[in-house]
């Protein structure tokens, strides 16, 4: 047995590990390699060419190597690099030279750093896994248009798998938390409403489908990689496929809430505030003697974190639903940006609104949207709030009088959205009919849809909600169809009277 092993070892040692293929080109294999595959190594007009033949058979390796060598010389004759450049290699070099790392970003502006982080993240998470692995490790010139078109479908598959896994995980966490609450008297006392104890939906604002705009941003990075390869002389423009954007018209249509859903949502938020306020006042009354004047206890609930946060959320719901502003704009709103206006003689304004808010308001919103070239400069917009949300603005202004430069909403956006998720869950409105998760942003969709259905001009709605006319037409183009249906559906044929037989 030992003798046979030594004979096999001596036989393998006697086999060649290097074979000359042509002038400046040879085949080799590493000594002791398990698979023993032959590798091509050559110089073509100064360009180094390395390629595996994928086989341990010498004669088959020679045929494969000669074809690869001929292709390399043809590429060189056309003015290209003789070496085949895989997409993964080109992408890595692109990241190194054009994007850089954190050490290279120290002197860049905040906006430029944000853009480069975005490119690196999309490259690592999506472009490299698809074009570098999913379709195979291919050179740039072997990537075709069909594979690029299939990229959008692959992204949707990935998103669907992720959303399904998140939902399953969330369902398990919520079921476990509900069981703990049911078995624990201590938890039931601390959280009378089980919805307040259940964990938040970790799916967050992730949509069930990737938007066309997001995919197009990734395709723009792909175009930049192709352009980089052309500059380096690694590929010719005619050898690379065209990269066409996904049609924006396939974006998700947005509705927000129906009137019944919004009423249920608002009433639930107000009731949650009332419950927290009453509980806070009960605790304060226990701490103070009965002889203490009741009016001194009237505002003590504002010191309670739960009662105050629910009060702010109740007001924020009214303001977002009555202005259509983005939640990020609302949290940037300071008291100095709220301007009162003289009371106009409007017959359509109910007196009960003016009883709470004696003057209407004009809000000054700040946004970075639409200022791509001047990201550091915030754009100012004048927002006309709907009369229904005047009382909410007045409540916030009077609740804690402070300096003009202090925020109108003194709660962080993340905490505000988490509190809103609890209200949605208690109302059974956590997801849309299509299974999409809801958030504070859906109040913006509710306002825009309601304004369009009321017959407001699209241009005016776009201005008051701090967006473009194109965005309104893109995401709310179903609203005119709905309005036309409602207008024409009420038409009735004239009824005919039957003649009496007498």
Boundaries of every domain in the chain? 13-84, 90-250, 259-486
Contacts of range 158-165, beta carbons closer than 8 Å, 24 or more positions apart: 158/126, 159/206, 159/207, 159/208, 159/209, 159/210, 160/208, 160/209, 162/206, 163/203, 163/206, 163/208
pLDDT, position 294 = 55
**CA Rg, the chain, in Å?**
33
Do 286 and 260 touch, CB atoms closer than 8 A? no
**Residue predicted with more confidence, 282 or 267:** 267
- 2: pLDDT confidence band, cut at 50, 70 and 90? very low
pLDDT, position 220 = 93
- Chain centroid, CA 357 distance in Å: 37
pLDDT, position 385 = 87
Q: In what order do the strands lie in the sheet with 361-367?
A: 338-340, 361-367, 379-383
Residue showing tokens 């601390």: 190
CA atoms of 156 and 209, how far apart (whole Å):
6
- Segment among 28-32, 415-419, 446-450 with least mean pLDDT: 28-32
pLDDT, position 254 = 61
- Segment among 45-59, 177-191, 238-252, 482-496 with least mean pLDDT: 482-496
Q: How far is CA 193 from CA 187, 276, 317, 413, 422, in A?
A: 10, 11, 21, 23, 10
Residue 5 predicted with pLDDT over 70: no
- Chain centroid, CA 291 distance in Å: 56
- On average, the pLDDT of the chain sits at 78
Token couple for 223: 């175009």
Provide the strand spans (E) within 221-376: 338-340, 361-367
Residue 140 predicted with pLDDT over 70: yes
pLDDT, position 248 = 64
Residue 288 predicted with pLDDT over 80: no
**Residue predicted with more confidence, 280 or 7:** 280
Mean pLDDT for 40-60 is 78
Residue 388 predicted with pLDDT over 60: yes
Contacts of range 402-407, beta carbons closer than 8 Å, 24 or more positions apart: 402/335, 403/335, 404/334, 404/335, 404/336, 405/334, 405/335, 405/336, 406/334, 406/335, 407/331, 407/332, 407/333, 407/334, 407/335
For the domain made up of 259-486, give the CATH fold: hpI Integrase; Chain A (1.10.443)
pLDDT, position 151 = 92
**Residue predicted with more confidence, 474 or 191:** 191
| Sign of the alpha-carbon dihedral angle for 128, 129, 135, 137 | positive
CA atoms of 390 and 74, how far apart (whole Å):
74
**Residue predicted with more confidence, 35 or 443:** 443
- 377: pLDDT confidence band, cut at 50, 70 and 90? very low
Residue showing tokens 């037409």: 473
CA atoms of 171 and 91, how far apart (whole Å):
39
Query: What percent of the chain clears pLDDT 90, i.e. is strictly above it?
Result: 18
Q: What is the pTM of this model?
A: 0.61
| pLDDT digit string, tens, across residues 224-255 | 999 998 888 777 788 788 898 887 654 455 66
CA atoms of 293 and 60, how far apart (whole Å):
100
Q: Which of 395, 389, 401, 400 is nearest to 363 (CA)?
A: 389
Residue 281 predicted with pLDDT over 60: yes
């Amino acid at each position: 047995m030992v003798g046979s092993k030594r004979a096999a070892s001596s036989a393998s040692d006697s086999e060649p590990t290097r074979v000359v293929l042509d002038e400046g080109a040879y085949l080799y294999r590493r000594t002791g390699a398990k698979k023993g595959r032959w590798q091509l190594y050559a110089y073509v007009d100064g360009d180094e060419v390395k390629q595996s033949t994928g086989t341990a058979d010498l004669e088959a390796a020679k045929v494969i190597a000669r074809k690869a060598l001929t292709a390399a010389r043809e590429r060189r004759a056309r003015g290209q690099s003789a070496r085949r450049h895989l997409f993964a290699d080109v992408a890595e070099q692109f990241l190194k030279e054009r994007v850089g790392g954190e050490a290279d970003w120290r002197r860049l502006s905040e906006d430029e750093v944000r853009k480069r982080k975005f490119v690196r993240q999309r490259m690592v998470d999506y472009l490299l896994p698809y074009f570098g692995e999913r379709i195979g490790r291919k050179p740039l010139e072997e990537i075709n248009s069909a594979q690029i078109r299939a990229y959008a479908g692959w992204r949707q598959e990935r998103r669907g798998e992720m959303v399904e896994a998140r939902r399953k995980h969330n369902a398990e966490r919520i079921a476990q938390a509900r069981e703990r609450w049911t078995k624990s008297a201590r938890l039931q006392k601390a959280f009378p409403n089980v919805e307040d104890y259940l964990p938040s939906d970790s799916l967050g604002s992730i949509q069930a489908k990737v938007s066309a705009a997001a995919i197009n941003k990734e395709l723009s990075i792909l175009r930049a990689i192709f352009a980089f390869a052309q500059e380096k002389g690694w590929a010719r423009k005619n050898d690379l496929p065209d990269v066409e954007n996904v049609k924006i018209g396939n974006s998700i249509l947005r509705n927000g809430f129906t009137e019944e859903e919004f009423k249920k949502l608002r009433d639930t938020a107000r009731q949650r505030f009332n419950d927290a306020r009453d509980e806070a006042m009960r605790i304060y009354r226990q701490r103070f003697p009965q002889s203490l004047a009741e009016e001194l206890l009237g505002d003590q609930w504002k010191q309670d974190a739960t009662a105050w946060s629910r009060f702010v959320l109740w007001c924020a719901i009214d303001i977002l639903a009555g202005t259509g502003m983005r939640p990020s704009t609302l949290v940037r709103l300071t008291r100095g940006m709220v301007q009162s206006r003289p009371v106009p003689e409007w017959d359509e304004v109910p007196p009960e609104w003016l009883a709470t808010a004696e003057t209407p308001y004009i809000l000054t919103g700040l946004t970075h949207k639409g200022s791509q070239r001047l990201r550091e400069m915030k754009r100012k917009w004048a927002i006309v709030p709907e009369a229904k949300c005047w009382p909410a603005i007045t409540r916030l202004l009077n609740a804690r009088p402070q300096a003009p430069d202090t925020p109108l909403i003194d709660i962080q956006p993340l905490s505000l959205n988490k509190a809103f998720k609890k209200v949605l869950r208690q109302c059974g409105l956590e997801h849309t009919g299509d299974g999409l998760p809801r958030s504070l942003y859906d109040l913006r969709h509710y306002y825009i849809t309601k304004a369009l259905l009321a017959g407001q001009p699209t241009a005016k709605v776009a201005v008051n909600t701090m967006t473009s006319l194109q965005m309104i037409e893109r995401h709310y183009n179903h609203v005119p169809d709905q309005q036309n249906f409602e207008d024409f559906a009420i038409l009735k044929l004239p009824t005919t009277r039957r003649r009496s037989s007498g």
